[in-house]
């Protein structure tokens, strides 16, 4: 039964011990705030959507499911036939392949303050740090998926997609990050999961997709403090206990290489830390590894979950720019400081790569034997977000000079990167560029089979590899105003077509890829870029909240229609 929940009374006891740091004040004090007062103090007024109750799904009109004429390879046969090309009989997706689409809570949900949700760091930064999101937008309303999830799930099912990978907003479950549980938040995700199952769509749930509860950031610095670990594990316990019998794929953390490297946060914004800027990433990473592995063992050994549990890493295939020894060494350092920082401990020996260990030994406590034993083997599959690939090369002054200079912008990885071939190889881009607002993204689908075999051979995941995000920002899409023009997203179509063929090639070569989660289900608030960058397989008219399938969604679905084993 759902209990009416009085926030102030429920939280006072816990909150009495929480220290708050007034930004303009030079002293530290302890006060008691209700959730409402906490929002007012740290975030301010929140925009509210017109629709603020859950909307029932309506059937998807058959008209909307007619594919566009001529997917990526247009000419023969023309028209709207599916399949649209001759099948390669050497290719297939295994019967249980996890064909999915993905999103993240902060980017799509909206309802920022509804039903007992506490603020996250993104609510605070988007409201109180002008320019942090370059467009000065917030995700107060976003795609309003908090109320529109039934229709979103119906639209996923209508395209034949088998998995919806989404994240849970921690501060909906624990408004202050720890302490009192908000039953309304749990009930919301329970209905979302039930709705998925009702439509034959498997839910794949991420626990942490960057939306740190603000109270944990304010009270102890979030991921920079070891206090984070028990709070995360407690949150994981609540989620695993409630949903462990319905969800068979969980990821603990999304892209720690990215969120740990976003430190330092804007000067003076959150609780100050004594950890030097360039060390923060490694403290964060260590806390992530410890929190992840504890959550894994809690699920497997204590709660007896049969679900696959993993951590979601990211990065492209790393290609040495030239055949020089220095470029090979730079490329290895790039693997080590990016994927290896997490993948070596989790999939190999419980410890960091040698180059990382050498770097962190002067400031970071080494992992103890007990910690290593806990971390080693704490993931069933290798979940990897793989959008692109890049070339790596030694810095111009050499790796040794960079390692000796903490002020070098490339320190401590001391590997440079580039999206163009060496001049001697023609100097071309690795592939066509995405939107100019996403400088890191070029289509490089031809490297996907190499990346998959590299992951399999290097880290040997026991249950295979999931490509947990991949996608493309159609160039200049936000400048288009005519609906029909927006929906015909040819660069993204080409990307999905070639990417899925690359996965089929990887499978034919014997790499154990078990699923692909396309990013993203719908256009959404792209973090610091706001709504200016579009990754959606569906367009969302933010005035009406109406969703529309783009051509690329048909392209993605088509790969599966043609190649899935029955």
Ligand X SMILES: *[C@@H]1O[C@H](CO)[C@@H](O)[C@H](O)[C@H]1NC(C)=O
| Binding flags for ligand X, 56-95, as an x/- string (CB under 6 A) | --------------------------------x-xx----
Strand partners, 469: 385
User: How far, in Å, are 256, 491, 494 from residue 71 at the CA level?
Assistant: 36, 11, 9
Q: Is 255 a catalytic residue?
A: yes
* 424 is an interface residue for ligand X by CB under 6 A: yes
Minimum Å gap between C-beta 367 and ligand X is 27
Identity of the residue, 207 or 394, whose beta carbon is nearer to ligand X in the bound complex: 394
* 362 is an interface residue for ligand X by CB under 6 A: no
Identity of the residue, 112 or 204, whose beta carbon is nearer to ligand X in the bound complex: 112
How many chain residues are in contact with ligand X, going by CB under 6 A? 29
Burial of 86 (0-12, 13-18, 19+ CB in 10 A): exposed
Task: Match 């001697």 to its residue by tokens.
Answer: 424
Minimum Å gap between C-beta 406 and ligand X is 8
Rounded CA-CA distance 367/18 in Å is 30
* 433 is an interface residue for ligand X by CB under 6 A: no
Minimum Å gap between C-beta 88 and ligand X is 4
Minimum Å gap between C-beta 541 and ligand X is 4
Query: Which of these ranges, 116-124, 160-168, 305-313, 404-412, lies near ligand X under the rule CB under 6 A?
Result: 404-412
| Among 12, 32, 52, 198, contact with ligand X (rule: CB under 6 A) | 52
Identity of the residue, 297 or 372, whose beta carbon is nearer to ligand X in the bound complex: 297
Contacts of 558 (CB under 8 A, 6+ apart): 67, 71, 82, 83, 84
Identity of the residue, 396 or 565, whose beta carbon is nearer to ligand X in the bound complex: 396
Rounded CA-CA distance 282/288 in Å is 10
Query: Which of these ranges, 172-180, 435-443, 460-468, 536-544, lies near ligand X under the rule CB under 6 A?
Result: 536-544
| Burial call 403-425: b when 16+ CB within 10 Å, e when fewer | beeeeeebebbbbbbebebeeee
* 36 is an interface residue for ligand X by CB under 6 A: no
Query: Which of these ranges, 143-151, 227-235, 380-388, 408-416, lies near ligand X under the rule CB under 6 A?
Result: 408-416
Contacts of 469 (CB under 8 A, 6+ apart): 102, 312, 314, 385, 386, 387, 517, 518, 519
* 427 is an interface residue for ligand X by CB under 6 A: no
Residues in the chain: 566
* 423 is an interface residue for ligand X by CB under 6 A: no
Minimum Å gap between C-beta 323 and ligand X is 4
> Site residues for ligand X, window 332-351 (CB under 6 A)?
none
* DSSP code per residue over 254-311: E-HHHHHHTPSPSTTSS---SS-HHHHHHHHHHHHHHHHHHHHHIIIIIS---SEEEE
- DSSP collapsed to 3 states, 97-134: CEEEEECCHHHHCCCCCHHHCCCEHHHHHHHHCCCCCC
Query: Which of these ranges, 61-69, 191-199, 206-214, 538-546, lies near ligand X under the rule CB under 6 A?
Result: 538-546
| Binding flags for ligand X, 102-131, as an x/- string (CB under 6 A) | ----------------------------xx
Phi and psi angles of residue 397, each rounded to the nearest 5 degrees, phi first:
-85, 5
Phi and psi angles of residue 371, each rounded to the nearest 5 degrees, phi first:
-65, -45
According to DSSP, the β-strands at 416-418 and 389-393 are antiparallel
| Among 23, 36, 479, 541, contact with ligand X (rule: CB under 6 A) | 541
| Among 26, 29, 362, 407, contact with ligand X (rule: CB under 6 A) | 407
| Among 56, 544, 565, 566, contact with ligand X (rule: CB under 6 A) | 544
For residue 28, give the DSSP letter: -
> Site residues for ligand X, window 480-519 (CB under 6 A)?
481, 483, 505, 508
Minimum Å gap between C-beta 49 and ligand X is 8
Contacts of 262 (CB under 8 A, 6+ apart): none
* 325 is an interface residue for ligand X by CB under 6 A: no
* 47 is an interface residue for ligand X by CB under 6 A: no
User: Which entry of 109, 255, 339, 474 is annotated as an active-site residue?
Assistant: 255
| Binding flags for ligand X, 184-203, as an x/- string (CB under 6 A) | --------------------
Query: Which of these ranges, 21-29, 71-79, 206-214, 416-424, lies near ligand X under the rule CB under 6 A?
Result: 416-424
CB 348 within 8 A of CB 445: no
> Site residues for ligand X, window 265-304 (CB under 6 A)?
303-304
For residue 213, give the DSSP letter: B
* 395 is an interface residue for ligand X by CB under 6 A: yes
Dmax (CA) of the chain: 73
Minimum Å gap between C-beta 18 and ligand X is 26
Rounded CA-CA distance 192/198 in Å is 10
Q: Which two tokens stand for residue 291?
A: 């929190």
Q: Is 329 a catalytic residue?
A: no
Rounded CA-CA distance 194/202 in Å is 10
User: Which entry of 109, 137, 339, 469 is annotated as an active-site residue?
Assistant: 469
Minimum Å gap between C-beta 463 and ligand X is 21
Binding-site ranges for ligand X (CB under 6 A): 48, 52, 88, 90-91, 130-131, 135-136, 303-304, 323, 395-396, 405, 407-410, 416, 418, 424, 481, 483, 505, 508, 541, 543-544
Q: Could you list the active site residues?
A: 255, 469
């Amino acid at each position: 039964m759902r209990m009416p929940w009085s926030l102030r009374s429920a939280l006072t006891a816990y909150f009495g011990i929480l220290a708050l740091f007034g930004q303009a004040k030079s002293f530290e004090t302890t006060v008691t705030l209700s959730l409402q007062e906490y929002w007012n103090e740290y975030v301010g007024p929140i925009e509210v959507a017109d629709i603020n109750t859950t909307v029932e799904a309506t059937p998807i009109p058959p008209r909307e499911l007619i594919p566009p004429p001529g997917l990526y390879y247009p000419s023969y046969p023309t028209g709207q036939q599916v399949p649209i090309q001759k099948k390669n009989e050497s290719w297939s997706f295994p019967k249980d392949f996890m064909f999915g689409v993905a999103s993240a809570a902060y980017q799509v949900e909206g309802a920022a303050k509804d039903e007992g949700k506490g603020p996250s760091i993104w609510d605070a930064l988007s409201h109180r740090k002008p320019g942090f999101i370059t467009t000065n937008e917030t995700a107060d309303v976003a795609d309003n998926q908090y109320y529109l999830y039934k229709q979103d799930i119906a639209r996923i099912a209508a395209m034949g997609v088998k998995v919806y990978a989404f994240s849970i907003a921690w501060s909906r479950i624990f408004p202050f990050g720890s302490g009192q549980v908000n039953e309304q938040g749990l009930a919301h995700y329970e209905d979302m999961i039930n709705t998925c199952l009702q439509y034959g769509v498997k839910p794949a749930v991420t626990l942490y997709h960057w939306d740190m509860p603000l109270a944990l950031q304010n009270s102890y610095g979030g991921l920079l403090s070891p206090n984070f670990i028990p709070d995360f594990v407690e949150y994981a316990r609540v989620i695993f206990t409630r949903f462990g019998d319905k969800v068979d794929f969980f990821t603990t953390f999304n892209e720690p290489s990215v969120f740990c490297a976003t430190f330092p946060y804007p000067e003076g914004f959150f609780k100050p830390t004594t950890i030097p800027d360039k060390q923060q990433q490694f403290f964060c990473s260590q806390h992530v590894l410890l929190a992840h592995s504890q959550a894994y063992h809690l699920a497997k050994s204590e709660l007896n979950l049969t679900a696959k549990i993993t951590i979601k890493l990211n990065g492209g295939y790393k290609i040495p720019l030239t055949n020089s020894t220095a470029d090979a060494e730079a490329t290895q350092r790039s693997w080590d400081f990016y994927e290896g920082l997490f993948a070596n401990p989790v999939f190999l020996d419980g410890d960091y790569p040698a180059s990382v260990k050498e770097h962190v030994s002067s400031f970071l406590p080494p992992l103890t034997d007990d910690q290593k034993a806990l971390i080693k083997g704490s993931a069933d599959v290798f979940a990897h977000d793989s959008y692109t690939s890049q070339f790596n090369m030694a810095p111009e002054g050499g790796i040794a000079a960079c390692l000796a200079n903490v002020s070098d912008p490339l320190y401590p990885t001391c590997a440079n990167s580039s999206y163009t071939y060496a001049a001697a190889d023609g100097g071309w881009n690795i592939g066509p560029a995405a939107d100019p607002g996403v400088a890191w993204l070029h289509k490089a689908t031809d490297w996907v089979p190499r990346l998959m075999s590299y992951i399999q051979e290097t880290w040997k995941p026991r249950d295979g590899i999931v490509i947990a995000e991949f996608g493309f920002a159609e160039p200049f899409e936000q400048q288009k105003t005519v609906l029909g023009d927006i929906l015909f997203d040819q660069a993204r179509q080409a990307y999905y077509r070639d990417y899925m063929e690359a996965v089929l090639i990887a499978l034919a070569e014997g790499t154990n890829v078990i699923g692909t989660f396309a990013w993203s289900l719908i256009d959404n608030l792209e973090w610091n870029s706001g709504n200016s960058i579009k990754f959606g397989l569906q367009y969302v008219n933010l005035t009406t909240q109406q969703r529309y399938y783009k051509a690329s969604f048909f392209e993605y679905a088509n790969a599966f229609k043609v190649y899935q084993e029955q």
